[in-house]
Amino acid sequence: QGYGRVKIKIKPGRDVGDTQAVRRAFPSLHLQVDANSAYTLETAAALLPLDDLDLLLIEQPLAEDDLWDHSQLQKQFRTPLCLDESITAPRHARQALEMGACRIVNIKPGRVGGLSQGIAIHDLCQARDVPVWCGGMLETGVGRAANLALASLPNFTLPGDISATDRYYAQDITGQRFTLNPDSTITVPDSPGLGVTLDRGAVERYTIARWNTKKTADRGQPTANT
């Protein structure tokens, strides 16, 4: 499909061997692994052979609140560690970088609180020469457009999770569909705002619940129609 980078999910027992097999099959592929906190500082020592596989990064090997352990683990690896779930606000990024807990940061707008928070983390990392990349959470076209806008900032120097519309959706809720360019990039819209418009017909078709945020007169609470 033209994607230039592959991320492998790993866990104890399905890590080094699987990654070695992919590397043998695709010697020049941009490759990274994501552990989703599957290891401890002690068990992560089993991942040291990954240093010989020319990986872009090892993502979130330890628990999200283990910044200190990540800093100790990074000292053992040549491959950069990347934090994902550990970073939910700019202050977490600052703490992680000051501790040496990672050399790369994954910024997901949906996880860190939106574009303004994502920009703040980008700027903080850029000031410290720490590269970032834009993660994804299977966003529809609206969220995908927001991710694209963020990922166009200069310190997003690593391939991100932003995919073409048809990678996950037969139909999106925006009038515009994102496609993959031959060089494995996606073009940032140049229209005002996020550069996309809602397909209101699609929104209606896929709506399963409605919320009325106006306060009711008797209880002062919002109402929901499902």
Does residue 11 sit in helix, strand or coil?
strand
- Half-sphere CA count of 201, side-chain side, radius 13 A: 2
215: annotated active-site residue: no
11: annotated active-site residue: no
The pair of three-digit structure tokens given for residue 109, joined into one six-digit string: 């707008």
Other C-beta atoms lying within 10 Å of the C-beta of residue 128: 13
Check 7, 75, 108, 214 and give the catalytic one: 108
CA distances from 23 to 5, 76, 197, 213 (A): 12, 22, 41, 52
Contacts with 206 (C-beta within 8 Å, 6 or more apart), sequence order: 173
149: alpha, beta or left? (left if phi > 0; alpha if psi -120 to 50):
alpha
Contacts with 207 (C-beta within 8 Å, 6 or more apart), sequence order: none
Check 9, 11, 214, 215 and give the catalytic one: 9
**Nearest C-alpha neighbor of 171 from the set 138, 210, 140:** 140
DSSP structure class, residue 44 = G
Q: Which residues are catalytic?
A: 9, 108
